[in-house]
Structure 1
Amino acid sequence: MSTRDFLVELGTEELPPKALKKLSVAFAAELKDWLDTEDITYGNVEIFAAPRRLAVRISNLAEKGDGGVVEKFGPYSNIAFDANGKPTKAAEGFAKSNGISMDQVSKITDSKGERLYYRVEGHGTITSTTLIAAVDHSLGKLPVPKRMRWGSSRVEFVRPVHWILMLFGNQDIYEANNAQTEQQKEMLGRILGLQPGKTTRGHRFHAPGEIVIEHPSEYQDKLRAAYVMASFSERGTLIKEQVTAEGKKLGGEAVISDDLLDEVTALNEWPVALAGSFDEDFLRVPPEALVSSMKEHQKYFHVMKDGKLLPNFITIANIESKDPQQVISGNEKVIRPRLSDAAFFWDTDRKNPLASRFPKLENVVWVNGLGSTADKTRRISVLASKIAEHIGADVALVQRAAHLCKNDLVSNMVTEFTDLQGLAGKYYAEHDGEPADVAAAMVEQYMPAFAGDALPATQTGTLIALADRLDSLVGLFGTGQLPTGSKDPFALRRASLGVLRLLVEKQINIDLGDLIDWALANEWATELRADTKATLTEYMLDRFSAWYQDENIPTGVFQSVRALGVTNALDINRRVQAVFTFGKLEAAQALAAANKRVSNILAKNGGENVEAKVNAELLQQAEEKALAEQVAAKKAVVEPLLANGDYSAALTELAGLREVVDAFFDNVMVIADDEAVKNNRLALLKQLSGLFMAIADISVL
């Protein structure tokens, strides 16, 4: 089948830099979905994205869709024809239903004999006729939260669109459809109110004029000649190389975060790295404040040497200047007042102790209906202290950390640089002479901030982090503000996973139910729902399940533990890890199947009413005697292990029951005619089941 290369470029005003990469990927994905739906084959798909353009190039795009093949099977010949060979009503009905005559009907033979058959070749979509619709549809599906209008048109997009380039082979889309007159072009359609053509534009300053693209293969080279690097990934790689090189020239190492690199890549069509400097006096300010100012406000990369910030920055200019020093000087002038602000906030905030800011929290609403941030801080203090008492931690340190933990939110530094919450508190606490653990807790309360993030290093920080998250979960669940679908405005999924990680990885042996009860017992500005505990517990167990799936632990492993109704996170994890290890043993599947059989037998014969007391005198067969003996022996070994929470060793021990269990079921009829013998055997199975159920319900594996 004939193919052509396809290119579409949307020329716009500057697109939102933080959304550019996502928009470009989505644009290509939507186009591919459209082509797949139309059964139009294609080769490599390339994505291009720059500040003023979104583009997709598709190689070897078929000129026509496959259309598919449809096969119709009719009645067998003994039904389709009478004794004289004439078509019956069944045959005529088959032909009529397919809109054909009997002359067009074929025959095919299968295992049952000869039958009527009709093969329909699909016509397929003419690709050129559908491309405008494909692009228009794809643009309409892009993840754009807010669209805008411009001029007098009612057309909407994320930014005003000024041109559209669209080539199918060496023809623009109208030429490809032989649309010559304006009427024919209008019938074929527009995209965002514009007629696609063969022209694009270069760099806004270096090459602002129109550029004619004769074939998709010319796209990158012609734009590069016009000072535009169309490939997002190519620009990103170049920026990284340039910034790294500039950092080395300064005698340090440039710090390149992925998020800043992507944003800077989205801001520049023709990146040129330039290094500047600032007054060393600013280095007295906490480095995080300086970095935040450079990164968030100016999009600069900072430079480190031996773990210390250098008084330099690296910026990316979107122009190849004839006088780079002038560009550098301009950036140095811009950054100076920013850093001066940070220094002013630092000096001003330290004039008053961190503790003195607490009263201001009374005027900061935490969540409507749940009181102020001061109220939340008091609840954190009570809950964290309760947990500290339970595990033998330093209650005084915890209470002090809780009292200070949110105070930096009303500081000048955090008001200006919101990403410094916690860090600012740590520096101010250290300046005030607070204990090291208290100062550390100012930062650690927000850990873990994301999946895989580090946990607090101090016990004080751990308990503040735990109490803070539990308070948020209980308060928001208690007022019905639960996550729904993809919406989780209060990041409760992350908070719940944080609680579970803290409990498990910090070895905090407290039941979730108790923790929720303690949080509920606090003073709340509004009455919380009666089902808060049940709903939140269930939700957190669901998060536990998701956690284990991410760890590639089969769902059945967690469900085997969840079936017991255990709600102690640390205990759950020990059981899950034990069952996961047990599942790799050779005996695991056989014992899981046996336990399922035991569960079914017990369920049909009284279940919970079966008394787990075996009468040795009623044991008749060698196999049941052997099983009873082994169950008793294993019980003596396993019970101390269970008391110490060593579930892995207990399951390894129980794996040794496989042979006697198999022999029992192969040779012993549980439901005996003698009622006493039957009940005794049920009691034996109840004992066997009880050994495993003390750890997990392995029958669900």
Structure 2
Amino acid sequence: MATLLVELLTEELPPKALRTLGSSFGSGIVSSLRKQNFVSEDVRYETFATPRRLAIIINDVLGVSPEETINQKLMPKNVGFTDNGAPTEALLKKLKSLGLDESSAQKTELKSDGKMEFIYLRQKKVGVTIDDGLQIAIDLSISKLPIPKVMSYQPQDNLETVNFVRPAHRLVALLDERIVAIKTLGLNSGNQSIGHRFHSKGDITIQHANEYESTLEEAGRIMPDYNKRKAFILDQLKQKANQQDLELQNDEDLLDEVTSLVELPEVYVARFDKDFLSIPEECLVLTMKTNQKYFPLFDRNGNLAETFLLVSNMKLDDPSNIVEGNEKVIRPRLADAQFFYRSDIRTPLIVLTEKLKHVIYHNQLGSQLDRVTRLRSLSIQIANHMGADRDKVSRAAQLCKADLLSDMVGEFPELQGTMGRYYALAQGESPDVADALEQYYRPRFATDNIPNSEISAALALADKLDVIVGIFGIGLIPSGEKDPFGLRRQAIGIIRILTEYPVELDLHELINWTTEKFSKELKLSVDKSQIKIFIMDRFKGYLKDKGYSIDKIEAILATESNQLHLVQPRLVAINEFLQTDHAAALATANKRIKNILKKNNVDGSCEVEPKLFNTKEEASLYEAIQSLSPTVTKAITQRRYTDALKALSTARSEVDSFFDKVMVMSNDAAERKNRLALLNQLSILLNCVGDLSELSIATTK
């Protein structure tokens, strides 16, 4: 067996897509070679990705695929052959698609599956060379690459148009030291690669596939391995930060992007004018990261320092020109941010709020000022139920969208809310109001914090509900992966606030309050049940991510689906209940009760008449229900759900005896109705924490 190398050299690839492209390029080739039996299922391989190349090295590759016998089911006999035994057009077409001629029809076999006869093709498939196999593999891999945006170009001396992520210039394919003859993107394979754009001159010959990485490192002066390059950059960043007695804050996305921009990384220390530290550090940090790909540094107290780190693609003994050049470039960028801040701060937020009437939120949902009006009304209503300061909530809602018209947010949309807070503080607003202007956007992403005050939480809920109800109201409901308005993220935000913040609000009421605002102001007809289902679907996913099984989730939501803050405590109680000896029996009994009641259309209006009892088991079960009801009800009211389930467990013997000795479906109509009423009472009691019938028996064991 041998080592296979494939390298595709291109112009600079999109940095944010490089890692994915490198991984997909390699896995696509391996997957195809595995299907063709050139490599084993557990084959070892290594992918490489730099700004100008995608490559893979695969170990233990066969030069020729093994011969194999194919026994392929083609089609029913009556479809493939005429009554005279001649092959039909359908069979000939199928054989042709397999690369076989008409004579192969006589080599087929007939086998019956007990119902009808089928035509099978049994033949030996001769092994093919790696040249043929790799050609199939690379074509397939390239066709399936997740290319963010395709370019069309014509290779040199070739009039054929090629579509790829960036123009490709060379193709290397080696099996050990032998060139594997393949062609792709208008390129013929060879063994000539290239190194660093500045530190390496001329072509680099790869003598052996095993020597690829070492040859590029030594002769090409590059680090082709993406992960090694990333680790090297991170190590240098930490070293340089420590040398400056400063701290580096983790930013995985920026580190990935920078790793995708360089082939020979080197980290240098640079500085900007200390005067710029007078403006909010978020402005400076975002400018450095977004525009220049620099790594800001912080002192031990977490304050931004004037020192920053840059990752260069040049390794020089005297990097002064690189450092000075980057310091010169960052200066006007920071000066712009400083100008934006000083200009914005002179305009009162309330003035910007009034100008929102000229900013369309959505052509069917009015302006941003219309939206602010709705948010004030809704957030005050929520605040009243939370006990939050309604005046501060009202003021925060009035100013919450003002910074959208600031120059700074116009340049950096990521700073919306953050700049609102700074401007509010500078203009003398209450710190609680200022904090709410920033925090009501939370959580912005999965691991983000939720708002930490009642004012912020009330405004956050109002904002997220307004988005969902409004977009649903005009019929732009998310489908598949499409969610242009981020409604799923808004729903998760609502769920996290309702479950993680110490607030007790009813989801059904929140949806009603929000839809009322739209129906009054915009005359929108909103399907509230559809919105509830949308949010609850996200809630189920949220709970599954926390480790709860779907049957337990369904059990609780069947009983409680409005007070989301009560669901997880109930799930904890269910988990504890399932560890007891009574769980399986009570769950099974409850499922049986549910089926009986459903089949007989029993509702909650039927009354139990003890005088109609004809067996001691009926009386015993009734007494158990009457005895347990006050205890269980009190435990539920006090949210002692585990205690409620423990109390219910004591009725197991009465439940078992009832089903063992009593015929529910008595021939006597009055007796039958009374027993069904008794089971209905039992069902209500058993399901006070969650619908036990939803629990799978396997789960309870």
User: Alpha-carbon deviation of 1:326?
Assistant: 1.4
Q: Which 10-residue stretch deviates more, 29-38 or 427-436?
A: 29-38
How many angstroms does 1:141 deviate by? 1.1
Picking from 139, 142, 149, the partner of 2:142 is 139
Q: What is the alpha-carbon distance in structure 2 between the residues aligned to residue 72 and residue 557 of structure 1? A: 45
Per the alignment, residue 148 of structure 1 pairs with 151
Alignment partners' CA distance in 1, 2:72 and 2:431 = 80
For residues 608-619 of structure 1, what are the structure 2 equivalents within 5 Å?
A: 608=603, 611-615=606-610, 618-619=613-614
2:693 and 2:403 map into 1 onto residues whose CA distance is 53
Question: Is 1:247 paired with 2:263?
Answer: no
State the Cα RMSD in Å. Answer: 2.7
Does 1:463 pair with 2:463? no
Show structure 2 runs of 5+ residues with no match. 74-103, 112-119, 696-701
The equivalent residue for 1:201 is 194
Q: Per the alignment, do residues 561 and 531 of structure 1 end up closer, same or farther by CA in structure 2, a change over 3 Å counting?
A: farther
* Structure 1 position 99 matched with structure 2 position 102: no
Tell me which of 289, 299, 305 is aligned to 1:295: 289
User: 1:87-132: per-residue Cα shift (whole Å, max 9, x none)?
Assistant: xxxxxxxxx9993799xx9xxxxxxxxxxx9997665554431212
**How do residues 376-455 of structure 1 correspond to structure 2 at under 5 angstroms?**
376-455=371-450
Give how far 1:676 is off.
4.0
Q: 1:528 to 1:190 in 2, by over 3 A?
A: farther
Moved more, 137-146 or 123-132: 123-132
Partner residue, 1:192: 185
Q: Distance in 2 between matches of 1:289 and 1:171?
A: 55
Shift of 1:251: 1.4
Alpha-carbon separation, structure 2, partners of 1:98 and 1:545? 58
3-state SS of the aligned residue for 1:567? coil
Distance 1:474 1:580, change over 3 A: farther
Q: Which residue of 1 aligns with 2:599?
A: 604
TM-score normalised over the length of structure 2? 0.87
Q: In structure 2, how many angstroms separate the alpha carbons of the residues matched to 1:649 and 1:631?
A: 16
State the secondary structure of the residue aligned to 1:483.
coil
Aligned identity (percent) is 38
In the TM superposition, residue 619 of structure 1 has moved relative to its aligned partner by 4.2
Partners of 1:554 and 1:563 lie apart in 2 by: 14
Q: 1:207–1:227: 8 Å Cα contact kept in structure 2?
A: yes
SS at match of 1:267: coil
**Alignment check: 8 A CA contact 1:67 1:121 kept:** yes
Q: CA deviation at 1:576?
A: 3.8
- Is the 8 Å Cα contact of residues 383 and 454 (structure 2) preserved in structure 1? no
2:49 corresponding residue in structure 1: 49
Aligned residues: 650
Q: Residue in 2 aligned with 1:480?
A: 475
SS in 2 for 1:6: strand
CA separation in 2, counterparts of 1:118 and 1:383?
71
- C-alpha separation in 2, matches of 1:612 and 1:131: 77
Q: 2:250 matched to which residue of 1?
A: 256
CA contact (8 A) 2:604 2:680 kept: no
CA distance in 2, matches of 1:66, 1:695: 62
Deviations 1:438-487, CA, capped at 9 Å, x for gaps: 11111101111111321111111111111110000001111111111111
2-side partners of 1:404 and 1:67: how far apart?
74
**Aligned-residue offset at 1:694:** 3.1
Q: Is the 8 A contact 1:239 1:273 kept in 2?
A: yes
8 Å CA contact retained: 1:38, 1:125: no
Name the counterpart of 1:273.
267
Task: Give the letter aligned to residue 58 of structure 2.
Answer: I
Matching residue of 1:32: 30
Contact 1:371 1:525 in 2 (8 A): no
The answer to whether 1:128 aligns with 2:131 is yes
Shift of 1:35: 2.8
TM-score normalised by the chain length of structure 1: 0.87
Deviation at 1:234, TM superposition (A): 0.3
SS at match of 2:164: coil
Q: Secondary structure at the match of 2:214?
A: helix
Maintained 8 Å contact 2:109/2:122: no
CA contact (8 A) 2:472 2:526 kept: no
| CA distance 1:101–1:538, shift in 2 (3 Å) | closer
* One of 159, 165, 174 as aligned partner of 1:158: 165
Cross-structure match for 2:3: 5
1:527 deviation in Å? 5.2
* 1:368/1:62 CA distance change after superposition, 3 Å: farther
Local SS of the residue matching 2:150: coil
Whole-Å Cα distance in 1 between the matches of residues 72 and 320 of structure 2? Answer: 76
Decide whether aligned partners of structure 1 residues 598 and 218 sit closer, same or farther in structure 2, where only a CA change above 3 A counts: same
Q: Distance in 2 between matches of 1:31 and 1:581?
A: 49
The answer to whether the Cα contact below 8 Å between 1:612 and 1:686 also exists between their aligned partners in 2 is no
Amino acid at match of 1:326: N
> For 1:18 and 1:609, how far apart are their aligned partners in 2?
60
Q: 1:449 to 1:215 in 2, by over 3 A?
A: same
Alignment-derived partner of residue 82 in structure 1:
none
Query: Structure 1 382/171 Cα, relative in aligned 2: closer, same or farther at 3 Å?
Result: same
Q: Equivalent of 2:664, from 660, 670, 689? A: 670
Secondary structure at 2:651 match in 1: helix
Q: What SS is found at the alignment partner of 1:149?
A: strand
Cα gap change, 1:295 to 1:657, in 2 (>3 Å): same
Matches within 5 A, 1:489-638: 489-523=484-518, 530-564=525-559, 566-608=561-603, 611-615=606-610, 618-621=613-616, 623-638=617-632
1:530–1:360 CA distance, 2 compared to 1 (3 A): closer
Letter in 1 for 2:47: I
User: CA contact under 8 A between 1:170 and 1:216: conserved in structure 2?
Assistant: yes
Change (3 A) 1:334 1:459: same
Contact 2:108 2:122 in 1 (8 A): no
State whether structure 2 residue 227 is matched by structure 1 residue 224. no
Q: Which amino acid aligns with 1:37?
A: K
Distance of aligned partners of 1:679 and 1:525 in 2 relative to their CA distance in 1, 3 Å threshold: closer
Question: What is the correspondence of 1:318-333 to structure 2 with a 5 Å cutoff?
Answer: 318-333=313-328
- Following superposition, the deviation at residue 628 of structure 1 comes to 2.2
Q: In the TM superposition, what is the alpha-carbon distance from 1:577 to its structure 2 partner? A: 4.0
Distance 1:342 1:166 in 2: 50
Partner of 1:184: none
Q: Is the 8 A contact 2:6 2:55 kept in 1?
A: yes
Q: CA offset at residue 673 of structure 1?
A: 4.2
Which residue in 1 is equivalent to 2:678? Answer: 684
Q: Residues 227 and 607 (structure 1 numbering): CA distance in 2 closer, same or farther, change over 3 Å? A: same
Partner SS state of residue 270, structure 1: coil
Amino acid at match of 1:148: M
Could you tell me how far apart the structure 2 residues matched to 1:31 and 1:360 are?
Answer: 56
Query: In 2, Cα distance between the equivalents of 1:99 and 1:453?
Result: 66
The CA deviation at 1:276 is 0.7
Which residue matches 2:97? none
Amino acid paired to 1:695: V
User: CA separation in 2, counterparts of 1:524 and 1:131?
Assistant: 63
**CA distance in 2: counterparts of 1:267 and 1:223, whole angstroms:** 17
Deviation at residue 248 of structure 1 after TM alignment = 1.1
* Equivalent-residue separation in structure 2 for 1:72 and 1:384 (angstroms): 67
| Residues 504 and 569, structure 1, Cα contact 8 Å, conserved in 2 | yes
Aligned residues of 1:477 and 1:536 also touching (Cα < 8 A)? yes
Tell me, in whole angstroms, the C-alpha distance in 2 between the residues paired with 1:329 and 1:139. Answer: 41
- Could you tell me how far apart the structure 1 residues matched to 2:469 and 2:372 are? 14
